[in-house]
Each structure stands twice: as structure tokens, then as C-alpha cells.
Amino acid sequence: MSRWQEPQAIAELAREITVVRRPNPVVGLYHWRYEIGALLVVPYALFTLFQAVGPLWAAVVLFCVANWLFYWKAARRFLRDRLRSVVVQHRLRTGFARARVCTLDGKLPVILWTKPQGDEVEVTVFCPAGVGYERIEQQRALLAAACFATDVHVYRHHKRANVVHLSVCTARLRKDVDDDEVTPALPPARRYAGQTDDVAIPLPGHVAGIPRVARR
């Protein structure tokens, strides 16, 4: 090992033995805001419904809502995508901690925005000082395993180095008949392409006011 490689090796060793900071109570409540909201709203809504129409008609209303969700494909897809986004947020935070995508004092990247997009979940991450695109790119295989995904693609922001876009692909892998390569179960037009030569690949749309570059 040359003397130029020693600082990087020492920094990597220090990162591996770093104790990841636990979120304070306010941040912890924010991380679990969807679950807390569901635990508060659903029992209150059920209690109000039973008080308003009685047990019999309440059961009829619940049965109709369940059938509506089951037979209306768009509503079922909307609910599934939102639940998947919530799960990806939790799994990404766990993956950041376990893969040591953190600063030397244990700070983790902050998830700014999550949006389902077909078979993928687009995530925008704010990186603290000491974490950047390169660190997340190195650990993307571990992040994919943590998110129960087939792959995670990492993209640079076209203006801000401390903002990174992640595309968590949750499509199942399939074996093509005439091709030995395993590819995601997506139509050819929507199959993602990997990033090469550390080039910033634009992502479509806007996330929390931050423009994203279009994917190739």
C-alpha cells in the first residue's frame, strides 16, 4: 500500500467501525408518520362509521369499499405503489446504516422525496458532508438487497453534488427464451440502462422543486 492510499484506507476503516447515529424522537416520528397516521385515522374512522350508521350498515359499507378496491385496478395499483414507496423508504434507511453509507460521525443521508414510477421507485436523497454519489454507487448492490429489489441505479444531480437520485427497480427478473441474459420483466422500451463513465443521467420530472435529468 502506497502512502497515497493510506488515508483512504484509514478513512474506510473508520467508517466501518462508526456507530450510526440513532434519530432523535422528532425525526423518528417523521420516519414513521404514515404508520402513525394510519393507526390514528383508521380506528377513528371505523368508530365514527359504526356510531353513525350502526354495525349492520357499517359492515355493508366496509364490504363495498373492499370490493371497490379489489375490482378497481387503478385504485389497487395506487394503494400498492404507495405502500411500496413507504417500504422502500424504511429499507433504504436500514440499508444506508448497514452498508455504512454514512459520514465518519455516523450521519446518514436524508430521503427528501419518494415517488413510484411503474415498476420502479424514484428516490431523491440529500447527502451530508462526507457522503456523495461515489459512496452510494459503491454500495448499490447492498442497497438493492436491503430493498428487496432487483437493482438500484444511482444518478447524479445535474446541479447539486449533495443531491443524488436513486431508482429502485422492483421488477421481477425473467429469463428470455432467445437470450441468455437475465433482464427485468419490463417491456423493451422501459428497460433501464446502466450508468457509464460517471456521467450524470437526467431523470424525468421534478422532485420537490428539484429538476431531474432525462434518462437515456
Alpha-carbon span 102 to 191, nearest angstrom: 30
Alpha-carbon span 187 to 121, nearest angstrom: 17
Residue-level pLDDT at 1: 53
Q: Which of 194, 195, 211, 191 is nearest to 203 (CA)?
A: 211
Instruction: Judge whether 162 and 206 are in contact, CB under 8 Å.
Output: no
Average pLDDT estimate for 30-56: 90
pLDDT-derived band at 11 (thresholds 50, 70, 90) equals low
Structure pTM?
0.69
Listed by start position, the domains of the chain span 6-31+72-211
**Cβ burial 27-50 (10 Å sphere, 16+ → b, else e):** eeeeeeeeeeeeeeeeeeeeeebb
Averaged pLDDT score across all residues of the chain: 77
pLDDT-derived band at 12 (thresholds 50, 70, 90) equals low
Q: Cβ neighbours of residue 24 under 8 Å, at least 6 residues apart?
A: none
Residue-level pLDDT at 17: 65
Residue-level pLDDT at 157: 87
